[in-house]
Every structure is written in structure tokens, then in C-alpha cells.
Copies of this chain bind each other. A is one copy, B any other.
């Protein structure tokens, strides 16, 4: 019997919300690698909001996820076999091998990681792409200085949690927005934000006003929708907005933005960005994040499901805000 592994492929494109039948679980024989390739056993798969956008067949910054192909994802794992001189069996690697137990790489977009002092999974979160998205948006778009007020949506999430901690390091007043009192308590007590608004509470608009008595100078947006509009309405003249995600509108019709007039009247700047296009900043950003982590000043939380079979449900949960912290699928 040939040894086999499992993977999820995109079976169909979502009509609105993602559903379980958009995915298909497949069994494949473990491949034989060619010269220059490595065979990797994935230990963790990263689930991220951008995946929803890639499931649609629309022109975007990246090619759409191909139907019938392995669902895309960042992964960390261990090399099982190598025909590439850069790697040996046993190396721990960060790669993009998708929703699969096993992957083959020619080394492109893969790198060895040091797991002696940093947990493997952190390379998919606070010390990985989400952490770098936070770092890039804060340092290259928001430019916060001491005394500024920064507002962050999805504040308990993989990106938002890092945004807030980086801004606290820079002497800012930091206000988070999250869904539910449990997440808000974590954001204030564990992450050290000055306040957190629960957007599910009835008087969140009033809370937002009270938490930002001096207005908002920098807004890091991950969600979109009514909370984004309300945040923009609190902004001071010459405020900066880093647009990192619009998860509230990923599942269907985009949610209209009502407060463009504030962008004009308050002379705001708004910048959409994709962190993977700014790799030149990674050494600098990762150095700061790693130093913070080593000093115990970069806290994060993970939401881990076990086994590849759980991946679709975990992604659906992530898209509706059910996760609490960085969403991962643990395979090994």
C-alpha cells in the first residue's frame, strides 16, 4: 500500500458566506521529490482572512485560488527528506504549503526558522506575516508619536494585538475594538491597551467617543463597516489610516463607507497595503518584534484546532469572528 496524505482543495467558489461544501478533502500518495526539492511534514497551518478574498474569482492583488488545487496557506513544518542543498531532514521551515499534511517545495518562499527560543507557531502569527502587517502599517503608514491616540479594530486578533503593543511601546494612547467582553478584557488586561470597545454592546458609539476624548490620530483598520465609519468620524485633522483588511465585507456585497466627507474635511490619508509586497522591511520589522517578544513585551494568543479535517470550519469561524487570537490548525 502506497503511503498517502490528506489535503483540502477548493471545490467551488462561495456564493456569499463560505460553506463546508466549498471544500473537498482528498487523499493523495506521498510524492517522490526531484532534484532541488524538499518534502515537508506540516505541523501548523495558518488561517487568515485574506483567504476569503482569494476564494473569489475576481481581479485582486493576487491570483485567485485555483479550483481543485490545494487551499493556499502559510505553514510551518519539518523537512522529512531533502534533495536541496540548502536543507536537511529535520530542519524546521516556514513555507506556503497550504491546507495539507505534506508538501513539496523547491525552496521558493521557504526559509529555515529557529525554534530554540521561539515557538514554531509564532512564525505564523506575532513573529510572522500578521506581526509584520502590524509592524508595517504602524511604522510606515500610521507614524505614531508619543501622545497620539491610535484606534485598532479586531484588536485581539493576530494583527491587531501586535499593532496595539507596538503603539504602546511608542507612547501612544491605544484603543481597541473587539467583539465581546472576554476579548475586550484580554485586550486591556493582557495586551495593555488603554481601553477596548465591545462593538456588540448597545452603546459602543458612546463608548468610542468617551475613550477618545482627544480624537484619533492613527486608525489601523482590519474590519470595515459601521465601526470603521465611526472610527473615521473620530479622527483628528491630518490623521492617518492604514487599511489592512475589510473582513466585515468579505462575504458578499461590500459594505458602503459613509464617511468619505471626513477624509476630505479632516485631510486624512488612507493607504491600503499588503505586507508581503514589502519584504525589504522584514529584517528590520522582525528584529523589533523578536526583541519585544524576548523581553516579554509582545504577548499573543492562539486559537488552535486539531487535525486537518477541522480547517474549513475553523476558517468559517475566523470569518465570523469566532476565533480568539491567531487561528491555527495543528497537524502534528
Query: Does A27 interact with chain B (Cβ within 8 Å)?
Result: no
Query: Does A292 interact with chain B (Cβ within 8 Å)?
Result: no
* Residues of A near any B CB (own CB < 8 A): 53, 59-61, 224, 237, 243-246, 249, 254-261, 263-274, 277
Tell which of B53, B243, B245, B269 touches A271, judged by Cβ atoms closer than 8 Å. Answer: B269
Closest residue of chain B to A241 (Cβ to Cβ) is B270
Q: Are A243 and B257 in contact (CB under 8 A)?
A: no
Q: Which residues of B contact A244 (CB under 8 A)?
A: 264
CA–CA, A59 and B258, complex, Å: 17
A-B pairs, top 10 by smallest CB distance, nearest first, are A256-B256, A264-B272, A270-B270, A257-B257, A263-B272, A60-B265, A257-B260, A269-B271, A267-B272, A254-B261
Closest residue of chain B to A237 (Cβ to Cβ) is B61
Q: Are A254 and B258 in contact (CB under 8 A)?
A: yes
Known: A254-B259, A256-B256. 6 other contacts (CB 8 A): A61-B237, A61-B265, A246-B260, A249-B261, A257-B260, A269-B270
Q: Which residues of B contact A61 (CB under 8 A)?
A: 237, 265-267
Closest residue of chain B to A255 (Cβ to Cβ) is B260
Q: Are A245 and B272 in contact (CB under 8 A)?
A: no
Q: Are A53 and B245 in contact (CB under 8 A)?
A: no
